Structure 1
Amino acid sequence: MNLTFIYNVSGGTILLFALIYFVLWVYCLVDIIRSDFRDPNMKLIWIVVLLLGQGVGPLIYLILGRGTKRSANA
């Protein structure tokens, strides 16, 4: 397996991606904590997904999490 493209990525680029991921992760965590969900257990489930989902946890929450929130009209 040839992974020479990894050697061409500078440390600054990796640091930038890590910073963006961290900001996205914190945003999702704060949004989960502050949100009201239809099912009371969904808050805990989303936190577990965020913690154990490693790289894709925040993306899964941003894509699927909106449908599990309680609407503002309820």
Structure 2
Amino acid sequence: MNTLLFLNIGASELLIVALLPLILMIFCLVDVLRSDFKDRSIKPLWCLVIILAPFFGSLIYLLAVRNQKIQYHR
């Protein structure tokens, strides 16, 4: 049987739900590592938050990081 009985979801839905936090975490970690921040100690702190709480840490990063990055104007 390909369905989890207690959740009533199939394997493909379970795979999507399991991969979404991983993809979001990788995206946020790459963004942190490529960005310049106003305070140098922020970068390792954000990496730690994203690694320890992959889904919620990534969401918090995406919502809170705008004011902490250095904006370069072209």
TM range (shorter): 0.7 to 0.9
Q: What residue number does 1:13 align with?
A: 13
Give the TM-score of the pair, scaled to structure 1.
0.81
Structure 1 moving runs of 4+ over 3 Å: none
Identity of aligned residues (%): 36
5+ residue gaps, structure 1, are none
Give the TM-score of the pair, scaled to structure 2.
0.81
Q: May I ask how many residue pairs the two structures share in their alignment?
A: 69
Contact 2:25 2:54 (C-alpha < 8 Å) held by counterparts = no
Once residues 6 and 47 of structure 1 are traced to their aligned partners in structure 2, the CA distance between those partners, rounded to angstroms, is 35
Question: Residue 68 of structure 1 aligns to a residue in which SS?
Answer: coil
Question: Residue 44 of structure 1 aligns to a residue in which SS?
Answer: helix
Q: What residue number does 2:43 align with?
A: 43
Contact 2:32 2:47 (C-alpha < 8 Å) held by counterparts = yes
Q: CA deviation at 1:24?
A: 1.2
Alignment RMSD (CA, Å): 1.6
Q: CA deviation at 1:20?
A: 2.2
5+ residue gaps, structure 2, are none
Contact 2:29 2:47 (C-alpha < 8 Å) held by counterparts = yes
**Is the strand fraction higher in 1 or 2?**
2
**Cα distance per residue 1:7-53 (max 9 Å; x no partner):** 21222111012222211111100000000000000001100110112
